[in-house]
Chain A
Amino acid sequence: MSEPSKSPDWLKPTPRGLYCEAGDFYVDPVYPVERAVITHGHSDHARAGHGAVLATPETLAIMRQRFGENAGGSHQPLAYGEAISLGGVDVKLVPAGHILGSAQAVLDYRGSRIVVSGDYKRRADLTCPPFEPQPCDVFITEATFGLPVFRHPPDTEEIDKLLHSLKLFPERAHLVGTYALGKCQRVITLLRRQGYEEPIYLHGALQACCKTYQDFGVELGALLPVLGTTKDELRGKIVLAPPSAATEPWARRLPDALVAQASGWMRVRQRARQRGVELPLVISDHADWDELLATIDEVKPGEIWITHGAEEALLRQAGLMGYRARALSLVGFEEED
């Protein structure tokens, strides 16, 4: 490792994203580029239209499913733990625990190491291997939930809330808003783990991602499309849909939908109420405040760069913990959960 006083300068924030000049590639660029390393398949990290794309086989499959012909000129799969050299920069992808295929990009160049962690979480997820901390000189972290009010409760408690509500309101369909990629499949696996064996009904926009997960061997149990069902069939059943669907005419096909949403933002009541959510479920694929802090302490980086989220509070906290930290203020990252 290099001396702590010298900040590595071979990876730079640019308007297109993090750029590595030595290897001539970007990590998670927000505009189409010649060569991209992609940490995971969410659309604010994986965009369409790049030339050469390096990512895990799962992430590449997700990009192909989402973007079709626009998924990139050429795809180079790199399995977890394997290394490759790009212009003298060693690139390795290690699990980030965020969604299927999500990886941290571990970059080594001339004796110093930068880890672009992408999005990550630390609690168990049946759809992907757990985050592996990598010692490094620079740890680039997200801060989506970088405020000490965000402490996600245990997933089991949140799933219990949903199962309890099904018992209390057996005549209502329970419409759970989830993002199509990641959250949807996570919620399904959590339900299955807690013994829920009924078919789970899907909005059309979620079906393709579920198929991709199943192709990679993730067990999701019986899934049925909402399309073609009757109102009576859906009473007391769980229906998953994108969060926006609850306010769209689509939702009227459900019997008296009880609107739930699975998201880390649900921790703040006002946010949940603004979105018309009746049953907030605090289930997130991002590290909460305690996980962010624990990760920093485990990785013990020489320096912390903060990409997107509540940078200010995490900067403050990193300072209190005795770390050198800076906010990168990258553009193009959406508030998602």
Chain B
Amino acid sequence: MKRFAPLLDALVFMPSRLGKLRLLREYFATTPDPDRGWALAALTGELSFSGVKSTQIRKLVQDRVDPQLFELSYDFVGDLAETVALIWPQKPGANYQPTLSDVVDGMASATRANAAALITGWLDALDATERWALLKLATGALRVGVSARLAKTALAEWSNVPIEQIEGIWHGLQPPYADLFAWLEGRAPQPERGNLPTFTPLMLAQPLEDEDIPKLDPAAYRAEWKWDGIRVQLVGRGGERRLYSRSGDDLGAAFPDLLAALHDDVVLDGELLVMRDGDIAPFNDLQQRLNRKTATPKLITDYPAWVRLYDILEEKGEDLRGLSFDERRGRLDRWYQAAPRPQMDLSPLLPFGSWDELSQMRDGARERSIEGLMLKRGDSTYVTGRPKGPWFKWKRDALTVDTVLMYAQRGHGKRSSFYSDYTFGVWRDQELVPVGKAYFGFTDEELRQLDKWIRDHTVDRFGPVRSVAPLLVLEVAFDSINRSTRHKSGLAMRFPRIHRIRWDKPAAEADQLPTLEKLVS
């Protein structure tokens, strides 16, 4: 725990992605196996032990500390694991200090009966930061702001191995990843994927800029809708099935129905949606099923999952990525027609003659389920990453609304001296109701101006938040707007950003709530 605890501690406080990457790189470079492997497993959510409940931890501390003093302390600190870590009485020189590997091994083989005694022994031997890390680990609540993707990015940066190569074998690996580290350090060949249902890193599209359009030959490109779900990869291999997100996170546990529907050895690229009677449900409905450890039968019935297929990368062990898009699309059609494919359909190709025609189609599509268009060269092979040229995404224009700035919050890291997070509202009769929050879309110079304006127009302060006089109009752009019970206005925007600062516009002329309600998709 000597190295792992300071790493977690530093990650908790580090707001910037670059800073977190640097902390992780340094850790992987200076920590021996198997500890760094177990740390990687902890950060990527791959550790599997049942853990202890916070009520058990609470009981442990009450045997050691006066209950009244504990309550006063807990009241002050607010977080149970942290209170226990800080208040636990030191036993100097008490015990052998466990390594991260000791803790992981111990927890993995612990029974419900002896887990508490095990943790007590470790708490006695560790310092306050290590105790905190131990309790976070043991209760399964790391929450240090590191995604699996970020951890893999750090590995890639540290080793100079492209992240796609790491992602491509990741799901065939087991903690503590000795073979992975040996490969990344150049001491061993890349671990074999074998016939495991690993993730194949995706091919991604570049945004299409207006000036690109005249350079492109319409006849060389195929067009299809960009559906408003999340991009996924469905993998069947050697009798195993997996569902991966675009960053290679395993989503299978939340979608057992989709896995059960796949019977072939095949790797498919598509859009995950919730579909009811042939209609795509709002993105909010899909969110009901994401980020869950399991799916209840009720959830599966109420939010039926669906995959709209874009591409096929592998069939019966044959790697199709070297084929052209047109050839792959033919293979996909044939595979799809060959047998009933429940909970799946094909994303149709859209015939078009010119960019103007396609542009009109794009502008005409106002259904909530469509984000815009995808353009793919018919002769493009499937290349991992985001090459410029073969694939473009052509998003439809954002919606905009004129709002009034209500609150501003100080940023973090580079922005800690700026009020950079803005909550804005629209009018409901004479009252402003908040409808969203945005912290990008403006230039550095505009940030400076906004910051000054906010400091000059503050009417109240709550910690890092300032309430400002309702005078400044912000034109906010967003992709779509949905009903939401979480917000006072009853609405929630997707991807809101500051489009323009309307220094010129009187606040009374900002939009009314009913105007926004009409935009609900």
A residues sitting closer than 8 Å to B (CB atoms) are 147-151, 153, 161, 168-169, 246-252, 256-257, 259, 267-270, 272-274, 276-280, 310, 312-313, 316-317, 320
The answer to whether residues A273 and B414 also contact, given A313-B72, A317-B69 and a CB cut-off of 8 A, is no
Q: Do residues B72 and A279 form an inter-chain contact, with CB atoms below 8 A?
A: no
7 smallest beta-carbon distances between A and B, as pairs: A149-B86, A251-B417, A313-B72, A149-B73, A276-B416, A148-B87, A147-B73
Q: Do residues A259 and B83 form an inter-chain contact, with CB atoms below 8 A?
A: no
Task: State the CA gap A247–B10 with chains docked (Å).
Answer: 21
Nearest-neighbour CB distance to chain B for A268, whole angstroms, equals 5
Task: State the CA gap A71–B82 with chains docked (Å).
Answer: 44
Nearest-neighbour CB distance to chain A for B381, whole angstroms, equals 40
Q: Do residues B26 and A278 form an inter-chain contact, with CB atoms below 8 A?
A: no
- A175's nearest neighbour on chain B, judged by CB, is B416
Which of B15-23, B48-56, B431-439 lies at the interface with chain A? B15-23
Nearest-neighbour CB distance to chain B for A77, whole angstroms, equals 40
Q: Do residues A320 and B77 form an inter-chain contact, with CB atoms below 8 A?
A: no
Q: Do residues B86 and A316 form an inter-chain contact, with CB atoms below 8 A?
A: no
Contact with A along B7-44 (1 / 0, CB 8 A): 00010111100010011001000000000000000000
Q: How many A-B residue pairs have CB under 8 A?
A: 89
Q: Do residues B14 and A278 form an inter-chain contact, with CB atoms below 8 A?
A: yes
Q: Do residues A270 and B78 form an inter-chain contact, with CB atoms below 8 A?
A: yes
Interchain CB contact (< 8 A) of A168 among B23, B77, B79, B127: B23
Interchain CB contact (< 8 A) of A268 among B19, B22, B82: B82
B residues sitting closer than 8 Å to A (CB atoms) are 6, 10, 12-15, 19, 22-23, 26, 65-66, 68-69, 72-73, 76-79, 82-83, 86-87, 90, 127-128, 410, 412-414, 416-417, 451, 463-464
Q: Do residues A247 and B416 form an inter-chain contact, with CB atoms below 8 A?
A: yes
Q: Do residues B416 and A313 form an inter-chain contact, with CB atoms below 8 A?
A: no
Q: Do residues A153 and B26 form an inter-chain contact, with CB atoms below 8 A?
A: no
9 A–B contacts from the bound complex (CB under 8 Å): A153-B128, A247-B410, A249-B417, A251-B417, A270-B78, A273-B13, A274-B464, A312-B72, A313-B73
Which residues on the B side are within 8 Å of A248 (C-beta)?
A: 417
Q: Do residues A151 and B86 form an inter-chain contact, with CB atoms below 8 A?
A: yes
A-B contacts besides A312-B72, A313-B73, 19 pairs, CB < 8 Å: A148-B87, A149-B87, A151-B86, A246-B416, A247-B410, A248-B417, A249-B417, A250-B417, A251-B417, A256-B414, A267-B128, A268-B77, A269-B82, A270-B78, A270-B79, A277-B13, A278-B15, A310-B72, A320-B66
Which residues on the B side are within 8 Å of A272 (C-beta)?
A: 13
Which residues on the A side are within 8 Å of B13 (C-beta)?
A: 269, 272-273, 277-280
Q: Do residues A168 and B22 form an inter-chain contact, with CB atoms below 8 A?
A: yes
Task: State the CA gap A71–B123 with chains docked (Å).
Answer: 51
Task: State the CA gap A313–B451 with chains docked (Å).
Answer: 42
Interchain CB contact (< 8 A) of A278 among B6, B76, B90, B413: B413
Q: Which of A150, A257, A268, A310 has the most CB of B within 10 A?
A: A268
Q: Do residues B72 and A147 form an inter-chain contact, with CB atoms below 8 A?
A: yes
Task: State the CA gap A268–B78 with chains docked (Å).
Answer: 9
Q: Do residues B76 and A149 form an inter-chain contact, with CB atoms below 8 A?
A: yes
Task: State the CA gap A278–B417 with chains docked (Å).
Answer: 13
Which residues on the A side are within 8 Å of B66 (C-beta)?
A: 316-317, 320
Task: State the CA gap A147–B74 with chains docked (Å).
Answer: 10
Which residues on the A side are within 8 Å of B6 (C-beta)?
A: 161
Which residues on the B side are within 8 Å of A269 (C-beta)?
A: 12-13, 79, 82
The answer to whether residues A169 and B19 also contact, given A246-B416, A274-B464 and a CB cut-off of 8 A, is yes
The answer to whether residues A276 and B412 also contact, given A149-B83, A149-B86, A316-B66 and a CB cut-off of 8 A, is yes
Q: Do residues B76 and A310 form an inter-chain contact, with CB atoms below 8 A?
A: yes
Task: State the CA gap A168–B20 with chains docked (Å).
Answer: 11
Interchain CB contact (< 8 A) of B76 among A147, A151, A273, A277: A147
Nearest-neighbour CB distance to chain A for B452, whole angstroms, equals 8
Task: State the CA gap A168–B6 with chains docked (Å).
Answer: 14
Nearest-neighbour CB distance to chain B for A5, whole angstroms, equals 27
Which residues on the A side are within 8 Å of B77 (C-beta)?
A: 149, 268, 270
Nearest-neighbour CB distance to chain A for B118, whole angstroms, equals 24
Q: Do residues A168 and B26 form an inter-chain contact, with CB atoms below 8 A?
A: yes
The answer to whether residues A148 and B73 also contact, given A251-B416, A274-B464 and a CB cut-off of 8 A, is yes
Task: State the CA gap A246–B417 with chains docked (Å).
Answer: 6
Task: State the CA gap A279–B83 with chains docked (Å).
Answer: 20
- A280's nearest neighbour on chain B, judged by CB, is B13
